[in-house]
Structure formats: structure tokens, C-alpha cells
A = this chain, B = another copy of it.
């Protein structure tokens, strides 16, 4: 992170920028496709759009449906990783790699070739291993994860969508295959069924853009949460999670995403994306239609506009 915050000095008018983006991205509606692998997700209206910014100085900006909760899906992998790293430190990296996989998020191929050790914590296999680690010795893991997100976002109404969680569980065959394959390699300590239950719950967490921008803020602020007035990660941990987001956070289009947007980010098939400008701000966007890689079509376009206008790319 660069010390000092040039953005502050430039007095960027984020509210005007968000509104401009909100107008411009409307042209892209209809170009992507709402996730339909579980029925509950397929029912979300395709034209929802929300975006929220929270600066490290405490200012907040929002546009559209920025306060409406949606299914965060894989964005939960980021919070579970933050939680695991804060509790277990570098132990996490003995069980999961830090490299982009070059394969789809739910591929079993590399797992088989690499002894069940997932390439990174943002593909499904890696997220399952991190969760397995986190669950060890914890009585109520679902609650632990939910409460962590509640505290980070300071929204104590934030909760699972139990309807989504059940639907995920019924369609979890690929994840069951991943978990069982890793179990067969001795990479999963706990019970596969219990692991899948918690995993489906973490994916079903419902949060708004504003909740997510608030909850991610420590990653833009050297691990410090301005909302809590305390550090939730070390500066080094925050910086490194950012690096992982940039190289592995947006499924199998991390290269294109870095090329277009230029920010560390994590996306979910619910249509949400969170991104960070280190030292400056966190931003979250939501639009349900996805591109071929599973990232929000409009959300990516909105973030690309955001870095083009604000020049906030890390590059």
C-alpha cells in the first residue's frame, strides 16, 4: 500500500461518479445471464443494480439498490479466509496454495493431480479446506461466520437465507465430489456432510453492497477496521489477502479482470463483487446477470468505469 492517500487530497466527488456509473451501465443490462444452478437464485430480478463506496476516512456513498441484501455466495470465501487467517495465521497456507488455478472454480482435475491440495482459497476446493480448518474445535461454525460478518459490517440483522441454503445443499453434488476427493487424500479432517452444511450456509448469507463495503474496509486500511476502531488483521495479512484477490479472486478471468479493472476483488454468482483501493476505499457492486466466467457482467463494467474515472487502478 502506498502511504498517504492522494484521493483524499484530490477531493474526488464519489457520489457524482456512482450516479454517472449507474446511468452508463444500464446499456449492458440483458447481456449476461442470472445464475440458474439453484432455483432460488434464478428468481432474483435481473435489473437490480446497487453500488456502495466506503472510504478509509469514513465517508460513504451509495447508488441504486445499495442497501438491499442479496446472496453473497463466493464473496463469503473472502470473509471466511479473513477469519481463518486472523485466528490461525500462516497455518492456513500449509493446507491451501496461493496460485491461480487456470481451471474453472469447481474443477477436480488439478486436485487429483496435486494430491488433493487446492491451488488457492477462492476456488471451491480451497474454500472447503479453509472452512474445514476453521471449523476445527468450534461448536457452532455457522454462527461464528455469520457473527463475524455482522460485526465487520456493524449490521446485526444480517443473516443466512435459509431457503437458499437448503437449495444449495440439494444441488451440492460437485462440492460433495470435491470434498470427498480431498477427504480421500486426507486433506479434510472433519465430516464431509457437516462441512457441506456450513459451506452452503456461508454461501447463503444475505448482505447489501453497503454491508460488504463496510466489512471489506480493513483490507483497504492495513487490516484496521475504522468501524470497530481496532485491527482485525495485521497490515501484512491484509496486503497479502489483497494480492490473492487480484490473482485468484474472480474465477477463471482474473487476468482479464486485472487488465480491465485493476483492483483486488472477489466476486460471487449472486452478482456481487467487492473491490479495494488500498489505502483509499472499499467498493461493492451488485447486478445479478453474470458473464461466462461467473462474474457480474454489469458489476465488472461498473468497476471498470470506476477505475477509469477515478484512476484508482493499482497499476
Chain B residues, Cβ within 8 Å of A309: none
Give A260-301 as 1s and 0s: 1 = Cβ < 8 Å from B's Cβ atoms.
Answer: 001010000000000000101000000000000000000000
Chain B residues, Cβ within 8 Å of A2: 2, 6-7, 280, 311-312, 314
Of A18-26, A95-103, A206-214, the segment with at least 4 beta carbons within 8 Å of chain B is A95-103
Count, chain A residues at interface, CB 8 A: 59
In the complex, which of the residues B10, B109, B246 contacts A246, with contact meaning CB atoms closer than 8 Å?
A: B246
In the complex, which of the residues B4, B102, B107, B184 contacts A173, with contact meaning CB atoms closer than 8 Å?
A: B184
Question: At the interface, yes or no: A16 with Cβ under 8 Å from chain B?
Answer: no
**Contact assessment for A97 and B255 in the assembled complex, using a CB-CB cutoff below 8 Å:** yes
A3→B315 CA distance, assembly (Å): 11
Question: At the interface, yes or no: A217 with Cβ under 8 Å from chain B?
Answer: no
Question: At the interface, yes or no: A158 with Cβ under 8 Å from chain B?
Answer: no
Identical chains bound together, number: 4
Question: At the interface, yes or no: A169 with Cβ under 8 Å from chain B?
Answer: no
Minimal Cβ-Cβ distance residue in B for A313: B239
**Contact assessment for A315 and B243 in the assembled complex, using a CB-CB cutoff below 8 Å:** yes
Minimal Cβ-Cβ distance residue in B for A254: B247
Chain B residues, Cβ within 8 Å of A239: 262, 313, 315
Given contacts A239-B262, A242-B315, whether A173 and B183 have CB atoms under 8 Å apart is yes
**Contact assessment for B313 and A1 in the assembled complex, using a CB-CB cutoff below 8 Å:** yes
A135→B96 CA distance, assembly (Å): 39
Of A39-47, A61-69, A174-182, the segment with at least 4 beta carbons within 8 Å of chain B is A174-182
A interface residue numbers (CB < 8 A to B): 1-4, 6-7, 9-10, 97-103, 107-110, 112-113, 119-120, 173-174, 176-181, 183-184, 192, 238-240, 242-244, 246-248, 252-256, 258-259, 262, 264, 278, 280, 311-315
23 contacts between A and B (CB under 8 A): A1-B314, A2-B314, A4-B4, A4-B6, A100-B102, A100-B254, A108-B108, A108-B112, A108-B181, A173-B192, A174-B184, A176-B180, A176-B192, A177-B178, A180-B180, A238-B315, A240-B315, A243-B262, A243-B313, A246-B247, A247-B259, A278-B313, A278-B314
